[in-house]
Structure 1
């Protein structure tokens, strides 16, 4: 089976997946790919890796979109999209638009508490910039795109990276250690604006464990508290019927961005649940790629 042949397991709520079928991927159509690039080494942990897919017909440095998977900060894999979607669709659409796409694995909450997963995403952006020349990337044109928990992490990268005085404890020094983190655009699919309302869901109901015993991180890691006028353009997309992350989360972040003077666009789809179940997915993916293309 090829990854693009992996079919959604049916309509409606999906049972929790305890495994995924074996796949032998042909890669992303139209791309030259690097797989398993080690963007950071964490002692005592497996290597932190990303995959990169660059348009094979690129004649010069291209923009790069960093894709951050969801999974409630407790599961997920850089190689797979939500099972409700056509696999590889996001990556193929980005490449077809003339942009590279980097897909990132990050530490989950059972691996390490917050803000480790934020540190990992920051380190991935710094790594791509450090090696931009040899990878055929334009370090000045970087965007982020995440869904669900990945949207939270993408928003933290976008907001912290563009802040005049970012909280150093949230950025970290993993991987190459330093370098700019700012991005030119962010797409956020049905992510949370605040973390306090879902704290009880983390780490088997132990909030202290999820945040390393530091309760101040609950507020610091809520995107709505990191909004500022220099934030990059943001596109928020949410289903009005989302039963996991209420649409009010995107509405709250959108309102805060506008109030700060930042460029924010909110699009809400009636009848769509989490992962846009109940509505066509492709138009949302195309809209996101167009948004990123115009700004990168």
Structure 2
């Protein structure tokens, strides 16, 4: 099966989490030169941390770079796949077709290591891409981040915390190349949480997390909240959310948008009527096009 043929078991609505995928091949991202399985960091005792990068072919010079961070409730997901309802490769094709490179990152999931490990990994991937930008054909000064759901929380921390003059070492970590700039010029956040308390209870009612996910430390839980890192130098941010999202309520994006505006940030909130999590119930194409337009505008 080619990756573009991969579909959810039902066309709409919830379905059980996949337990595996069939043998999958791919013709790659259209119009791109691809690096797959780049090891951006080693963590002793863990698998190598890897990313894929797709760069438009035929570019006359270094191109802008979009760092994509997958969702999955911090407990599942894979850099190679987007939500099954969207159609595989469509997001990557769209970014490359707009003349930008796209990197897609694997990070440690919470059954492997608690917060802030996933955040450290994403910062390490960003530092790696900027360190090796000349070899990869990307412009280290024109980098944007884009994430969905749990990946939007991670993307927000990259964009918000990484844009401070002195990034918090406890948040950015020192994995991989260990040092280097981590600021970005644009962010797109698809239906991400602005805070995590409602997902962190140990009462069996929370959909994703328990106390172990943040080392049982309320300070770590607060530090993982994008709302805690809002400041005036946050790059232009586009928040997109379904009005009927039953996993991460639309109020998360509404609160974060209000906080960004209050800090003087160029923030845009677009709410899609009738859309559930992953924009189920509406076509994905217009959402991807809108996100890419925002990134192109600010990474030109």
TM-score range, shorter chain: over 0.9
| Residue 205 to residue 252, structure 1, CA distance change in 2 (3 Å) | closer
- What is the TM-score normalised by the length of structure 2? 0.96
**Contact preservation (8 Å) 1:272, 1:279:** yes
Correspondent of 1:209 among 205, 208, 212:
212
Indicate the SS of the match to 2:76: coil
Question: 1:287 maps to which residue?
Answer: 290
Correspondent of 1:236 among 236, 239, 253:
239
Q: How does 1:71-82 map to 2 (within 5 A)?
A: 71-82=72-83
Measured against aligned partners, the alpha-carbon deviations of 1:7-53 in whole angstroms (never above 9, x if no partner) come to: 23221112121111221111101000000000000110010000000
Deviates more, 1:201-210 or 1:100-109: 201-210
| Residue 205 to residue 131, structure 1, CA distance change in 2 (3 Å) | closer
Measured against aligned partners, the alpha-carbon deviations of 1:156-200 in whole angstroms (never above 9, x if no partner) come to: 000011013332101100000011110000000000001111112
Correspondent of 1:264 among 267, 270, 279:
267
Q: CA deviation at 1:5?
A: 1.2
**Contact preservation (8 Å) 2:66, 2:143:** yes
Q: CA deviation at 1:205?
A: 7.6
Indicate the SS of the match to 1:84: helix
Q: How well do the aligned residues superpose, as a CA RMSD in angstroms?
A: 1.4
Indicate the SS of the match to 1:218: helix
Q: How does 1:135-214 map to 2 (within 5 A)?
A: 135-200=136-201, 207-214=210-217
Question: 1:118 maps to which residue?
Answer: 119
**Contact preservation (8 Å) 1:8, 1:85:** no
**Contact preservation (8 Å) 1:9, 1:83:** no
Indicate the SS of the match to 1:178: coil
Does the alignment pair 1:219 with 2:222?
yes
| Residue 42 to residue 184, structure 1, CA distance change in 2 (3 Å) | same
- Distance in 2 of aligned mates of 1:250 and 1:164: 25
Question: 1:84 maps to which residue?
Answer: 85
Indicate the SS of the match to 1:44: coil
Deviates more, 1:204-213 or 1:23-32: 204-213
- What is the TM-score normalised by the length of structure 1? 0.97
- Distance in 2 of aligned mates of 1:218 and 1:164: 23
- Distance in 1 of aligned mates of 2:79 and 2:28: 13
- Distance in 1 of aligned mates of 2:2 and 2:34: 16
Question: 1:106 maps to which residue?
Answer: 107
**Contact preservation (8 Å) 2:200, 2:211:** no
Unaligned runs of 5+ in 1: none
- Distance in 2 of aligned mates of 1:106 and 1:290: 27
Indicate the SS of the match to 1:210: helix
| Residue 178 to residue 4, structure 1, CA distance change in 2 (3 Å) | same
- Distance in 2 of aligned mates of 1:207 and 1:271: 30
- Distance in 2 of aligned mates of 1:288 and 1:295: 11
**Contact preservation (8 Å) 2:242, 2:271:** yes
**Number of paired residues?**
296
Q: CA deviation at 1:115?
A: 0.3
Indicate the SS of the match to 2:162: helix
**Contact preservation (8 Å) 2:199, 2:208:** no
